[in-house]
Amino acid sequence: MPVKTFKIDGQDVSGREDETVLDIARENNVFLPTLCNIEGLKPVGACRLCMVEVKGSNKLLPACVTKVEEGMEVTTNSERLQKYRRMILEMLFVEGNHVCSVCVANGHCELQWLAEKLGVDHTRLNYMFPKKEIDVSHYRYAIDHNRCVLCTRCVRVCGEIEGAHTWDVSGRGINAKVVTDLNTPWALSETCTECGKCIQVCPTGALFKKSRAVGEMTKDDHFLPYLKTMREVDNAE
């Protein structure tokens, strides 16, 4: 497969034509924040946190779905990008009800970590305090929509890896939310296999095990690359 040579922040790098800017950035230890992207699942460019500047383009481009091209020059950490990313995080906080001190994922939350990493210690926007549901009908798991950032990791891991297609997104815009089996209570789902993969890939405390208290919900998504590879091997055979 042809190899493309280009620059990231002035550094000469190279990658296959089927790789993305985010892939090459990570291979070269260049930090790019993400919430929706996770190794082992198809990229969707949902969170927009990995946006980069590409010379010759007036638009910011999502690194996770932008294929590498010969001679392109990518900037990952300009003042413009820093302001843009902080604004996205602020919007995620004010559009939900994120109270870290009482969250099961406190100290283990990717949204919380990114806020600290990017210097978001307050918001200039007004909190919306939406009235969002909590589904605790399942005997093992629960979902708190107040903490959901609509990264769709749960939707993708359920469809791409588990093959159950239990999760989906209902509604549009600020009314969008993830649902099980056409918006039925989780306990009544006829497709859920109770594998728990959706719990492990959730970046926040939105999906959690009922047995976890404040700060106890740690996540382990290292199984994803392995399962994806095994799935590809099986399909090839």
In this model, does residue 3 exceed pLDDT 60?
yes
The count of C-alpha atoms lying within 13 angstroms of the C-alpha of 80, restricted to the half-sphere facing its C-beta, is 10
Q: Which residues pair with 74 in a beta bridge?
A: 8, 54
Q: Where are the domains of the chain?
A: 3-77, 104-220
What number of CA atoms fall less than 13 Å from residue 75's CA on the CB side? 14
Residue 205 in contact with residue 144, Cβ under 8 Å? yes
Q: What Rg do the C-alpha atoms of the chain give, in angstroms? A: 19
| Whole-number Å distance between alpha carbons of 64 and 180 | 27
**53-101: pLDDT as tens digits:** 999 999 999 999 999 999 999 999 999 999 999 999 999 999 999 999 9
* pLDDT band with cut points at 50, 70 and 90 for residue 222: confident
User: What percent of the chain shows pLDDT beyond 90?
Assistant: 85
C-alpha to C-alpha distance for 95 and 7, rounded to whole angstroms: 36
Architecture of domain 3-77: Roll (3.10)
Mean pLDDT, the chain, integer: 93
Place 219 in a pLDDT band, splitting at 50, 70 and 90.
confident
Instruction: Decide if domain 104-220 falls under CATH 3.30.70.20.
Output: yes
